[in-house]
Structure 1
Amino acid sequence: MKIINLFVYIICILGSYTASAENNHAREKTVPYQQQKVSFKSGENTLQGILFTPSQSNGKTVTLIGPVGYVKEQAPLLYGQSLAEKGYTALIYDPSSHGESEGEPRRTESAEQKTLDIIASVDYLSSLDTVNQSEIYGLAICQGVNWMIKAVNRDKRIKAMSLVAGHYLDPEVAEMYNGGKERLKEVISKAEKAKEKYAATGEVDYIPIVGSIQQDALLASPHVYDWYIPWENNANGLGGKWENRISQMSLLDIWQADVAKDLQKIKKPTLFIHSDKAASGSSIPKRLFSVIPTSDKSLVWFEDQFQTMFYDDRALIKRAVGHVDKWFNETRNLQ
């Protein structure tokens, strides 16, 4: 009888030890954030997004916008995750006419609509009980920087912004990407005709986002093509509804833009993160940074990382987010 009681006691002790070990292991494996699909309105369009909610919030919230023709599963996803790991509530989404979001004509880049989408994302975040409305920030990647700059000039609720590897839409950049003034004129002429055709018939002309000059592709770099094309048929297994097309009339808002005019109005704290081989080259971002009138600005220059590394290189993204986090903390008490 004593042997049986001793055996039962040992079993109980072992069970208690195992349960305690499992609980400790579970605590060690606690995820730093939760993510959930959300939707919100931008004008008449319903946009589909992902909201990252940290397990331990730092009280700050960020809305993100990505490269030209992007979907949320691309670059914004890793930035959203990295920010959430640092305690930020972060929102990524498919902009109007792209991915899972509503909007016509499909796959159209509109400066005004992209700006309105950012403002709508702030409306949505401001409606959440968990969000401190005085602690909303903006982060933009690649071409998204141009629309974030416009939104910050129009929406006082965005406290500060960080611009990563910006594809700054500038007349010099337009010529550089299109092989000079003459071809740029041809590109603009075709885009104008496409816009006139849409206005008259409702028919949309499309060009590839990535491809060859002969295809009138927006981006003709082989390296950029190699990065993007697996997304077209989900060959990389990463999801998202990315399509290798953009409406030709979109090129008017892209190649006729002059971001310097918007930067000259900036009054909010602004961080530039760039590198020698990122979009816009090595000199143009520095020139544009110099026209920002506010003294609350910072330029962080990385080495020679190529543009698409800022989209999926996790170590590089964590490094960039480290600077973003430091900047938002430094600017927290400004204004």
Structure 2
Amino acid sequence: MTHCEKVTFAGSAAKLTGNLFLPQPPGAGSLPVPGVVVAGTWTSVKELMADRYAERLAERGYAALSFDFTGFGESGGEPRDVESPKRKIDDIRHAVTFLAGHPAVDGERLGALGICAAAMYMSGNAAADDRIKALALVAPWLHDPAICEEAYGGAEAVREKIAAGEEARAHYEATGEVEYVPVVSATDERAPMPYEIDFYLNPERGAVPAWPNRFAVMAWKEWLTLDSLAFAPRITAPTLLVHSEDAAIPEGARRFHAGLAGPRELLWTPGTQFDFYDQESQVTIAVDAADSHFESTLR
């Protein structure tokens, strides 16, 4: 039976809050186990999918930490709900530091698992953090500016989003007011995902009270100009990608995989992007693959 501890640790700008899932309650005689930092989709809180994966990894014998990024969920920090890749990568570095220092964790055997957009953030940290000995990316959203143009309706549409983001940033800096739009909406065309997505809108799935379904418009520029594929040549830790041709931007996964500097594996499986967040078949496939990967690299 796994054990979950509510934990807090320092980030660069705020106190961060997470859930540390352990294979068993800590106690005298318990041997340190490998640790894995887990994070989920853009704008997400730990309750959406990171907790699910962390708990499943704890069942396999790992200490797995899911946490809320700066300005999200239970973590501190202002402004709230701003999707900042740079800040999230920095938060992951602090999460690794916390995990490495926990008495239940063997700080020499640390891995990272990123779902969807967190694949970019985990990769950004792994490219500069040699404490990460193994990396697993599930349904990875991996983009560069060219892929963003394909995903967001072309170069002109991207320029419009960046301009809107710059205007919203200027408004925030002048007034302290953050302009938000829904992350997902079938009726609001300003939403980054302007269509019906059951996972995010269904209270039985991702529409949990902790997730406010809001996107800070000022985040567009940093998001759209991020080149996550440039991280790959700097990653030497063994890396696993679990993806589907029916999930988000498989071309990004292929290009990222091809660019990795270290040992690499790309596992193609069935499923849509959102299936990997909470559907039993895809989650089990991904966890099994991650466990096998971490078993061979962290044990």
Q: TM-score, normalised on structure 2? A: 0.92
Identity score, percent? 33
Q: Distance in 2 between matches of 1:144 and 1:240?
A: 21
* 8 Å Cα contact 1:57-1:88 kept in structure 2: no
Shift of 1:315: 2.8
Structure 1 outlier segments of 4+, above 3 Å: 212-215, 235-240
Cα 1:204–1:155 change in 2 (3 A) is same
Question: Does residue 1:37 correspond to 2:9, yes or no?
Answer: no
Quote the Cα distance in structure 2 between the aligned partners of 1:273 and 1:260: 16
TM-score normalised by the chain length of structure 1: 0.83
- Residue of 285, 302, 309 corresponding to 2:269: 302
Q: Where does residue 84 of structure 1 map in the other structure? A: 58
Change (3 A) 1:175 1:213: farther
Question: Is residue 126 of structure 2 the alignment partner of residue 126 of structure 1?
Answer: no
Cα deviation for residue 205 of structure 1 reads 1.2
Partner of 2:132: 158
- Amino acid aligned to 2:87: Q
Paired residue secondary structure (2:7): strand
What is the CA–CA distance in structure 2 between the aligned matches of 1:190 and 1:160, rounded to whole Å? 38
* 8 A Cα contact 2:23 2:58, kept in partner: yes
2:163 paired with 1:189:
yes
Q: Report the 3-state secondary structure (helix = DSSP H, G, I; strand = E; otherwise coil) of the residue aligned with 1:264.
A: helix
Please report how far the alpha carbon of residue 53 of structure 1 lies from its aligned counterpart in structure 2 after TM superposition. 0.9
Query: What amino acid maps onto 2:220 in structure 1?
Result: L
Residue ranges of structure 2 left out of the alignment (5+ in a row): 25-29
Listed one character per residue, the Cα deviations across residues 138-196 of structure 1 (whole Å, up to 9, x for unaligned) are: 00000011111111122221111101101112223312332122211111111111112
Unaligned runs of 5+ in 1: 1-30
AA aligned to 1:284 is: G
SS of the residue 2:127 aligns to: helix
Tell me, what secondary structure is at the counterpart of 2:22?
strand
Q: Distance in 2 between matches of 1:251 and 1:36?
A: 34
Q: Considering only CA atoms, is the larger Rg found in Structure 1 or Structure 2? A: 1
In the TM superposition, what whole-angstrom CA distance separates every residue of 1:234-257 from its partner, at most 9, and x where no partner exists? x66985510111110111121111
Report what 1:258 is aligned to.
Answer: 227
In the alignment, residue 243 of structure 2 is paired with which amino acid?
H
User: CA–CA distance in 1 between the matches of 2:233 and 2:190?
Assistant: 32
For residues 210-229 of structure 1, what are the structure 2 equivalents within 5 Å? Answer: 210-212=184-186, 215-222=189-196, 224=197, 226-229=198-201
Q: Describe the shift of the 1:167–1:124 C-alpha distance in structure 2 as closer, same or farther (beyond 3 A).
A: same
Gap change, CA 1:331 and 1:236, over 3 Å in 2: closer
Q: Are 2:64 and 1:95 equivalent residues in the alignment? A: no
CA RMSD in angstroms comes to 2.0
Q: For residues 220 and 143 of structure 2, what CA distance do their matches in structure 1 show? A: 11
Checking the alignment, whether the CA contact within 8 Å between 1:207 and 1:215 is kept in structure 2 is no
Matches of 1:113 and 1:133, distance apart in 2: 23
What letter corresponds to residue 275 of structure 2 in structure 1? M
- Contact 1:269–1:297 (CA<8 Å) still a contact in 2? yes
- Partner-residue secondary structure (3-state), 2:86: helix
CA contact (8 A) 1:273 1:302 kept: yes
Q: Contact 1:58 / 1:88 at 8 angstroms: preserved in 2?
A: no
Query: Which is richer in helix?
Result: 1
- Number of residue pairs the alignment of both structures matches: 294
Alpha-carbon distance in structure 2 between the residues aligned to 1:288 and 1:313: 25
* Alignment partners' CA distance in 1, 2:258 and 2:31: 34
Establish whether residue 330 from structure 1 lines up as the match of residue 296 from structure 2. Answer: yes
1:232-287: per-residue Cα shift (whole Å, max 9, x none)? xxx6698551011111011112111111111122111111110011111x333112
Of the structure 1 ranges 187-196 and 211-220, higher mean CA displacement relative to structure 2 is found in 211-220
Contact 1:68/1:109, CA 8 A, preserved across alignment: yes
Q: For 1:74 and 1:214, how far apart are their aligned partners in 2?
A: 22
The 8 Å contact of residues 65 and 76 in structure 1, kept in 2 or not, is answered as yes
Q: Is the 8 A contact 2:201 2:207 kept in 1?
A: no
Give yes or no for the alignment of 1:249 onto 2:237. Answer: no
TM-fit CA distance, 1:36: 1.9
Q: Aligned with 2:4: secondary structure?
A: strand
Q: Which amino acid aligns with 2:179?
A: D
Residue 292 of structure 1 corresponds to 260
